[in-house]
Structure 1
Amino acid sequence: MKNIYYFFLLAFLLGSNLFGQNCVSGYVDIKNPKNWERQVYLSQLHPKENSNTFYDTQIASSPIAADGYFTFDQNLFTTKEHIYKLHIKPLSPKEKDTLSKKVKNFELFILSKNDTIHFDKSEQLFTKQTSNNKANHEWQKLKNFEARYENLTSDFDTKKYLLETKGYVKDSLQILLVKLIGIKRLDDQGLLEKDAQANPTYYLSLIKELKSSDLDPSTYVYLENKLQTITQKTTNKKYTISLWANAFAIFIICILLLIIIKFLRNQKKQKPIPLSKQEKVIKNLIISGKSNKEIANELFISLSTVKTHISNIYSKLNISSRQDLLLKK
């Protein structure tokens, strides 16, 4: 009895170990098998330098069994999460574009060697999946959310999309790698710069979180560079606005000063300083044709005093000669 127990225990352990060796498994149900290779290809996606796009590197291939089954060993994966791609290839390269438009022949997913993903048979290839990877689960949620915006029309509401996507990426997606994918979608729609300018604190904290994580820096270096560019643009814009604002303020101050000076001059013209009694007498004598010497003799004052009075009269009446005085009488 004891030997039977050990036999079943050993069988269970061996079975569990064998099962655990397969990270990726599933079935493909090809409608027109004569057009496709009987292989499933596995590739890893890598971000392009200073770009929000990816390129893929083929890792391995798995033959498709008669019943459509395929599998990939866990040794093909690493302990870190990466984005992978499963796809099948048409037999004829000439038919690649035609067949790809008719059939979705690939699927992207997130996985590490500690996780599993299984694809069940379905009408469309690689669509029905089960995975224990949390990031991949979040990504599927993001895909379902974005499906509503697959075919954008001319009446596309940018503000509504930005509000909904921003809220979903920030509040719903807790996996950093998937957040990056969601932010990439914002960038594809030309909305990342607008959102980063409106919410700089969020993006700065996200970069700090990414840097402290185990993610490969190449996955978020584009976002970091993008945010630096946006920050620099914002700073330059604020500086330019500040220069224009200062220039406008100086212009306004100059205009106000000119208005004040003109106002004071008008006030001075409108309110002439009254002449003294002696100045009035001298003014009348000048108008009557008297010379300076005659005025001095008549008033019993010195010639220099007469000249001083005349100078004061000219200043108060805003004139410069006897001719002006005669014209102003």
Structure 2
Amino acid sequence: MKKCATAILLLLHMITYAQYDFSGYVGDGTKNTTVYLSLVEDYRKVSKISLSQIIRKTEADSTGFFSFKGDNLPEKNRIYRLHTDGCNTAKETINHLTEECKDSKQILFIANNNDTIYFPLNDINEIFCQINTTNPVTDAILQTQLLKEEMLFDFAEFRSDANRKINTKNWFRQFQDFGFKTNEPLAELFIYDFLSDKRNDTYPYYLKDLSSNDYYKALQLRLEEKYPNEAFTKLYVSEIATDTYSLTLNQNNDEFKWNSVIYFLLFLSIAGNLILLLTLLKIRKKRRSTPFSKLTKQEEKIFTLIQEDKTNKEIASEIFVSVSTVKTHINNLYKKLNVQSREEIKSIKK
């Protein structure tokens, strides 16, 4: 009931004022918990809590409720972070200066100066797990993090190299498709940061994907259209250009190496074919000197059927001749192969 009433008040507030309002709960009965609001302009720094990113802080009241209000944020969407930590006053500054705090609870979200966003506790009183918002892309990063968890579970369940290759390709497409459907390049940048991180297993596939997938160029165009002069757009353009150039250099080096390999393999192939041709000629010559070279096609067929233990009647039926004709062919086989019986024919290895 309390949460519903709060959501209604927030909606009324949104209609009345053109300013941001980020509020929620950090626990029931929590006193003097500090909540920090950060602006994350560098998508390569989304994974760490940094003192340089913090723009405001506030204290939660005795019920655990906190609120940030104002009209001084960028008009366009940006990536923001809310976080609390369990550090005491003496350690808090040190931990933040070293950009680390293991006791932190945080959530990343997308917002702008006109958004009203509410962060309720979930059903088991966990903080920063749910978002109620007026901005349709606010929870895109939260949804991406859920995709990450599904991906990691998928990779952990089957550890074979074959599964990893198939899954990597599938997950790249899932992430890129999800980011594109949000219609928010910032969400796509968050995904790109994860997939192209050199510390992740996805990095080798990212380089491969960059060389063949137009997605990255298309994302650049979307960023330049929506955020033309922002630092994160310039960083992305620079990274894509650098990675593409590095790939080109590697491909040229590989092409030079492969040309040498190809010429060597071509030489081996020609030499191998010549040897094979000579061998076949010898085999053919040898076959011509054997008794089998004297057999007609019909006699060769009857020879095979005899080795399959067929009777004269069965042979006649299979090759569509009379039994007497089969007997004539068999007599010719005896003479040409210098044998006296069917058993001898069966024992011959062709």
Q: Which residue matches 1:39?
A: 34
* Residue 173 (1) aligns with residue 169 (2): no
* Residue 240 (1) aligns with residue 257 (2): yes
Q: List aligned pairs for 1:45-84, cutoff 5 A.
A: 45-47=40-42, 56=50, 57-84=53-80
* Residue 108 (1) aligns with residue 117 (2): no
Q: Which residue matches 2:145?
A: 143
TM-score (norm 1): 0.59
Give the AA of the match of 2:256.
Y
* Counterpart Cα distance in 2 of 1:124 and 1:224: 42
Moved more, 112-121 or 153-162: 153-162
Give the AA of the match of 1:112.
N
Q: List aligned pairs for 1:1-329, cutoff 5 A.
A: 19-29=17-27, 33=30, 37-47=32-42, 56=50, 57-92=53-88, 105-122=105-122, 123-150=125-152, 153=156, 155-156=158-159, 157-174=163-180, 175-188=184-197, 189-198=200-209, 199-214=212-227, 216=230, 217-218=233-234, 220=236, 221-249=238-266
Structure with greater Cα Rg: 1
Moved more, 192-201 or 244-253: 244-253
Equivalent residues of 2:24, 2:119 under 8 A apart: yes
Aligned with 1:245: secondary structure?
Answer: helix
Equivalent residues of 1:47, 1:53 under 8 A apart: no
1:112-163 CA-to-partner distances (Å, cap 9, x unmatched) read 1132321113311111211232333332322222222346638434224313
Task: Give the deviation of 1:18 after TM superposition.
Answer: 5.7
* Counterpart Cα distance in 2 of 1:78 and 1:25: 18
Q: Unmatched 5+ residue regions in structure 1?
A: 1-13, 260-329
Aligned with 1:135: secondary structure?
Answer: coil
* Counterpart Cα distance in 2 of 1:55 and 1:90: 14
Q: How many residues of Structure 1 are paired with residues of Structure 2 in the alignment? A: 240
Moved more, 63-72 or 130-139: 130-139
Equivalent residues of 1:119, 1:130 under 8 A apart: yes
Task: Give the deviation of 1:187 after TM superposition.
Answer: 2.6
Q: Unmatched 5+ residue regions in structure 2?
A: 1-11, 276-350
Moved more, 154-163 or 71-80: 154-163
The change in CA–CA distance for 1:227 and 1:109 in structure 2 (over 3 A counts) is farther
TM-score (norm 2): 0.56
1:248-282 CA-to-partner distances (Å, cap 9, x unmatched) read 446777x69x99xxxxxxxxxxxxxxxxxxxxxxx
Equivalent residues of 1:207, 1:224 under 8 A apart: no
* Counterpart Cα distance in 1 of 2:42 and 2:220: 17
The change in CA–CA distance for 1:233 and 1:80 in structure 2 (over 3 A counts) is farther
Aligned with 1:200: secondary structure?
Answer: coil
* Counterpart Cα distance in 2 of 1:197 and 1:214: 27
Equivalent residues of 1:25, 1:72 under 8 A apart: yes
